[in-house]
Structure 1
């Protein structure tokens, strides 16, 4: 199972409708947003759930119910669930949710998984693979990649099915992202000789130029209000679909450029 060229992350764990009135919080809002983003060019939904108070929710039963609701409505749009802790959940709970939610695509932070015994992380990655769950490993730095390489079985690390996502700007003051922040990740992949299925997301107003750099480097894009509510010109996007459409337009340009150089 490969990543789509564009995945949308429409809400995240922390933003609310006070941050943007079009940010989806309820399952019906998420459904409508996902459909609009699919029409705009997104091939997958990165799914965060909220509790009744609007807070971040990581619950296997809630995920099963959400997937049962979404799958018949979204058709061929893939769904990836998050295991983000958001300061609320421990690695054991995150692993349980990943393995018991009925999802076949899961994003997992290497940094969060390694908060406890590294052997437990290795066991989790092996079990997820055995269950046919595609884990996309979240890396905030080259050091996260190096840590992942220490605990991920070699056959998974060097598999072309390995899924990674590089996150730019999350822990930078002001959450500023620039394309040069991608370079350490590219150098790391070249150094250890892996060719994974990788994507990038970027926080702040630099989201568009960073995603364009990723597409031109052979990667994929995750875009949406989880990371930024800004259009390329710095204006506030009307909704997630507008962000997807702008990146989809970049994708067309990138594909044409690649074709010219083939």
Structure 2
């Protein structure tokens, strides 16, 4: 395994809202375009290179909608310019079909998009449409990040690559340490199965984690050569267990930890270069 110090600067992504939490969970969770833009500016200042965006309907519920995405992206760009890579989610949350997920991405044509492998290509029958969708992303220079919830999914993705269904030599991936369950607490050791000796290797991999150990998990990942995602989508707590005042507080805590370990923090341009944007 390569030394972390021989690798590219570490990119910090912020996932500030997700599709589940509301103001009842934390008053600073950004739900509107204006709130997302303000959060983006704060997190860029704190060290983030990318923002992972969910949008909501008028009742605060999870939404995949091209117009809502365009409004949110415009607000973020008006505020931070190119200081952040803007990644939208295609998450179904049990509401949208793979066809609907892919359709909204085609409509928006974002800079970047996250794709949960288990949602977008749930079975072998859906592999061909997935391959066509990836080919479209590649042609349109939309950067995907494949979300992997288990080592088995990493093996499956590698198999799709070997069969020529993925038009990138090494597509960026996100390892999720845990699940969206009440009281979920990730631990750094949860990463080890993804990095076991016989597991596939991806050139650009990131980690997100749940609960107050979020900073410890992603710092461990960075030291092993990975990149990181933090934010209110998965965690509301600082490393000492106190409530974070904002998403920027979580970004800043991790930026300090990475700096203390001698790791360089990537900016948006460096992340875009790493992803071939």
Distance 1:109 1:193, change over 3 A: closer
Unaligned runs of at least 5 residues, structure 1: 258-262
Distance 2:88 2:10 in 1: 15
> Retained in 1: the 8 A contact 2:36–2:72?
no
1:183-229 Cα offsets, whole Å, 9 max, x none, are: 11112xx5365342111000112211101111111111100000100
Q: Secondary structure at the match of 2:137?
A: helix
- Select the residue among 20, 23, 26 that pairs with 1:17: 23
Instruction: Give 1:159's aligned residue.
Output: 169
Instruction: Give 2:230's aligned residue.
Output: 223
Instruction: Give 1:260's aligned residue.
Output: none
- Select the residue among 57, 63, 71 that pairs with 2:69: 63
- CA-CA distance at 1:155 after TM superposition: 8.1
- Select the residue among 108, 132, 155 that pairs with 2:141: 132
- CA-CA distance at 1:130 after TM superposition: 1.5
1:48 aligns with 2:57: no
Distance 1:172 1:19 in 2: 14
Q: Secondary structure at the match of 2:229?
A: strand
Runs (4+) of structure 1 exceeding 6 A deviation are none
1:196 aligns with 2:206: no
Q: Secondary structure at the match of 1:255?
A: coil
- CA-CA distance at 1:150 after TM superposition: 3.0
Unaligned runs of at least 5 residues, structure 2: 1-7, 265-277
> Retained in 2: the 8 A contact 1:33–1:241?
yes
How many residues get paired?
Answer: 253
- CA-CA distance at 1:172 after TM superposition: 6.5
Distance 2:53 2:214 in 1: 19
What RMSD, in angstroms, separates the aligned Cα atoms of the two structures?
2.2
Q: Which moved further from structure 2: 193-202 or 165-174?
A: 165-174
Distance 2:236 2:157 in 1: 30
Distance 1:10 1:181 in 2: 23
1:245 aligns with 2:252: yes
Instruction: Give 2:271's aligned residue.
Output: none
TM-score by length of 1: 0.89
1:1-27 Cα offsets, whole Å, 9 max, x none, are: x99610111100000010011111111
Instruction: Give 1:93's aligned residue.
Output: 100
Distance 1:195 1:151, change over 3 A: closer
- CA-CA distance at 1:77 after TM superposition: 1.3
> Retained in 1: the 8 A contact 2:237–2:244?
yes
Query: Larger relative contact order (C-alpha < 8 A, sep ≥ 6)?
Result: 2
TM-score by length of 2: 0.85
- CA-CA distance at 1:115 after TM superposition: 2.5
Distance 1:158 1:91, change over 3 A: closer
